[in-house]
Amino acid sequence: MKKRVEYCKKLFKNFGEQSYIEPPFHCDYGYNINIGKRCIFNFNNIILDCGKVTIGDDCLFSPNCNIITVTQPVNYKARKNGMEYTKPIKIGNDCFFGAGSMILPGVTIGDRVITGAGSVIINDVPSDCIVSGNPAKIIKKINESNEKEINNEKNK
């Protein structure tokens, strides 16, 4: 594990203390990725980092999550010529991504966001909410008054 952490510190622009990646993991370059402290990536995550990816502290990624910064033009002629471009992705602190979540180019995700398994995030997500679906939509806002209710629902 120590060798893996050292490799990640060389590969990424920043690899925060106590962060961990479970292989297999794939990325384009690595040097466009900033990972905060105590982040965990479970099996089979992919980051297409042709553009900048910033991940805050204490984020958890379930298996098979994808973070994709690269996209192609709408115009078919431009696509035939091989044109592509990137849009940066920014993820706040204390986020949890359910299995198979996909974050598409240009998305900013706030703090303390939870995504349901299989969610496709195509738009910005504000802090303190649960999103799910394809495309992902806000299904619940999280605040101190309903946090206990949400935790009780999960334990049923």
| Residue 124 pLDDT | 98
How far is Cα 119 from Cα 137, in angstroms, rounded to an integer?
Answer: 9
Q: What is the predicted pLDDT for the residue at 83?
A: 86
pLDDT at 92: 98
Query: What pLDDT does residue 151 have?
Result: 64
pLDDT number for residue 150 = 62
Tokens of 6: 């050292």
Report the top-level CATH class of 2-154: mainly beta
Question: Tell me, what's the pLDDT at 104?
Answer: 98
Rounded to two decimals, the pTM is 0.90
The residues, any chain, with a CB within 8 Å of residue 8's CB and separated by 6 or more, are 15, 19, 21, 35
Segments of the chain with pLDDT less than 50: none
pLDDT of 156 reads 64
Burial 70-85 (b: 16+ CB within 10 A, else e): ebeeeeeeeeeeeeee
